[in-house]
């Protein structure tokens, strides 16, 4: 959510910002209009309420000294109904304004390269050359199936397309990755581990920005109006919804594993093979709450924490900087580390590290009290550290051997109990 004050004072700046995200200026004008209407109404109704409050006090005084107050009461009856009428109108206008504010995207940070779509993202860093193989490397779905550790048919039978089943050392590898990633973030980088609910309510989804605009991507339970989390970002960020934390407690750094659920509504025909794009996947997510002045430094650290996992696994990757058109709804700046998949001859997004500035904090009302007593919104950031299924795919493709077996990365040896999957 953008600050209403910012929209009032610098509508052109806001229009330019959302234009860079491929969003038209109409919403801004409507907000200004509705805001004007709201303030006019408020002025009127507040005046009447003031009148009523004063009259009530007089009535109370009269009653206390057992005097007749029926004249004043009769007079207030009209005022009361007028107030009720205006209050109804305020309520309608308030709801409209809130909806508009919830639907306007965050502004890109000034230094983000302007671009229309993901085609204009730039590679800002490359780590390790693409490895050479003495044989033709296979994609992970072939490796996984031939080793008997990924079963796509079973997933389709149990649940449908874009589901799969892990077996034996495949399941063990996934579980090892989850534990190891969390251990790294907790023990080496000072994050606090969280294990949150996967089902969240409407307020939480609104707080991080999935609702109201992106309901189509979410699984929803009809009976009790809960949503399956598409990322741990949702439950973990909402941990501090409507809270005021102390400045000295910032930054707050959480890491959480959850299963993630996505309808992938707009992705028909995309990544149909393998475990890259599925309806349910595991992810370890880092979430940070920081002071505004620290948030870009914290973004750098967050990216390093995400990429640290890739480095420890010795997986080649590069870092893509999102242009304005590919930032998404809530981010002010975003970097995606992408891992090399030799079996598919391409890089695949394996993490996404964003600074939301105060966009989510405003929606979710997450604030902090400064040392001198002032209250301000925190900045929130999050980044995958990492997407676990895709990490497994990357390991299968990068660590595959000519005989069809897969070496276990050194970092995972203590968790896997074997150094090779065959």
Partner RNA sequence: GGAGAGGUGGCUGAGCGGUUGAAAGCGCCUGCCUCGAAAGCAGGUGACGGGGUUCCCUCGUUCGUGGGUUCAAAUCCCACCCUCUCCGCCA
Minimum distance of RNA from residue 292's CB (angstroms) = 15
- Bridge-based pairing state of the strands 150-151 and 165-166: antiparallel
Residues 26, 43, 160, 266: which binds RNA (CB under 7 A)?
Answer: 43
For the bound state, the minimum distance from the C-beta of residue 129 to RNA, rounded and expressed in Å, comes to 49
**Which positions ≥6 away from 264 have C-beta within 8 Å?**
162, 217, 270, 277, 278, 279
Of positions 10, 50, 130, 346, contacts RNA by CB under 7 A: 50
Tokens of 121: 């993202």
Count of residues engaged in binding RNA, rule: CB under 7 A? 28
> Can you say whether the dihedral through the CA atoms of 356, 359, 365, 368 is positive or negative?
positive
Active site residue 352: yes
| Catalytic choice (38, 262, 319, 362) | 262
Q: CA 178 to CA 193: how far, in whole Å?
A: 12
Chain Cα centroid distance, residue 302: 15
Judged by beta carbon, residue 64 or residue 270, the one nearer RNA is: 64
Helices (H), ranges, 65-168: 70-103, 140-147, 152-158
Residue 118 near RNA by CB under 7 A? no
**Contact call for residue 410 and RNA (CB under 7 A):** no
Query: Residue 277 catalytic?
Result: yes
Q: Which of 38, 138, 362, 390 is catalytic?
A: 390
Contact status, residue 267 vs residue 216, Cβ threshold 8 Å:
no
Residue 175 interacting with RNA (CB under 7 A): no
The minimum distance between CB 6 and RNA, in angstroms, equals 12
Residue 3 burial by Cβ neighbours in a 10 Å radius (0-12, 13-18, 19+): middle
Nearer Cβ to RNA (47/410): 47
125 part of the interface to RNA, by CB under 7 A: no
DSSP at 405:
-
Output the six-digit token pair for 372.
């001198």
* Range 348-377, binding RNA (CB under 7 A): 367, 375
DSSP letter at 400? B
Q: Is 262 a catalytic residue?
A: yes
**Minimal distance, residue 331 CB to RNA, in Å:** 23
Is 63 a binder of RNA (CB under 7 A)? yes
Binding track over 70-89 against RNA, x by CB under 7 A: ---x--xx-xx---------
Buried b / exposed e over 66-103, threshold 16 CB at 10 Å, is: eeebeeeeeebeeeeeebeebeeebeebeebbeebbee
Q: Is 390 a catalytic residue?
A: yes
Q: Quick one: which of 11, 19, 32, 52 contacts RNA (CB under 7 A)?
A: 52
Closest distance of CB 10 from RNA, Å: 16
Determine whether 307 is an active site residue: no
Alpha-carbon gap, residue 356 to 234, rounded angstroms: 13
Q: Give the interface with RNA as residue ranges (CB under 7 A).
A: 4, 39, 42-43, 45-47, 49-50, 52-57, 59-60, 63, 69, 73, 76-77, 79-80, 91, 244, 367, 375
**Which residues are marked as active site?**
262, 277, 349, 352, 390
């Amino acid at each position: 959510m953008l600050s209403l004050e910012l929209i009032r004072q610098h509508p052109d700046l806001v229009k330019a910002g959302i234009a860079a995200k491929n969003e038209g200026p109409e919403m801004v004008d409507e907000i200004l209009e509705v805001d004007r209407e709201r303030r006019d109404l408020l002025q009127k109704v507040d005046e009447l309420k003031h009148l009523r409050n004063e009259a009530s006090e007089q009535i109370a005084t009269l009653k206390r000294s057992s005097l007749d107050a029926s004249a004043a009461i009769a007079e207030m009856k009209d005022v009361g109904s007028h107030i009720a009428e205006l209050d109804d109108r305020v309520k309608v206008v308030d709801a409209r304004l809130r909806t508009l504010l919830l639907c306007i995207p965050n502004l890109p940070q000034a230094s983000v390269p302007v671009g229309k779509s993901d085609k204009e993202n730039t590679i800002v860093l490359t780590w390790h050359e693409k490895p050479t193989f003495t044989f033709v490397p296979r994609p992970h779905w072939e490796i996984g199936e031939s080793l008997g550790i990924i079963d796509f048919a079973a997933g389709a039978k149990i649940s449908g397309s874009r589901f799969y089943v892990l077996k034996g050392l495949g399941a063990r590898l996934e579980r090892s990755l989850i534990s190891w990633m969390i251990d790294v973030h907790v023990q080496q980088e000072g994050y606090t581990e969280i294990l949150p609910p996967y089902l969240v309510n409407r307020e939480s989804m609104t707080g991080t920005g999935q609702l109201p605009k992106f309901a189509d991507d979410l699984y929803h339970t009809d009976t009790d109006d809960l949503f399956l989390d598409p990322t741990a970002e949702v439950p973990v960020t909402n941990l501090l919804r409507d809270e005021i934390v102390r400045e000295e407690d910032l930054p707050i750094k959480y890491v959480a594993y959850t299963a993630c659920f996505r309808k992938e509504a707009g992705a028909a025909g995309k990544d149909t093979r393998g475990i890259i794009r599925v309806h349910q996947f595991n992810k370890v997510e880092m979430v940070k709450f920081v002071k505004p002045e620290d948030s870009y430094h914290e973004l750098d650290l967050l990216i390093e924490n995400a990429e640290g996992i890739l480095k420890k696994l010795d997986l080649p990757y590069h870092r893509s900087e999102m242009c304005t058109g590919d930032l998404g709804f809530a981010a002010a700046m975003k970097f995606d580390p992408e891992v090399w998949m030799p079996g598919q001859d391409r890089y695949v997004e394996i993490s996404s590290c964003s600074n939301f500035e105060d966009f989510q904090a405003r929606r979710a009302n997450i604030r902090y009290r400064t040392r001198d007593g002032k209250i301000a919104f925190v900045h929130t950031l999050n980044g995958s550290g990492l997407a676990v299924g895709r990490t497994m795919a990357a390991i299968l493709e990068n660590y595959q051997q000519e005989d069809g077996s897969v070496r276990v990365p050194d970092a995972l040896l203590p968790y896997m109990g074997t150094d090779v999957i065959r």
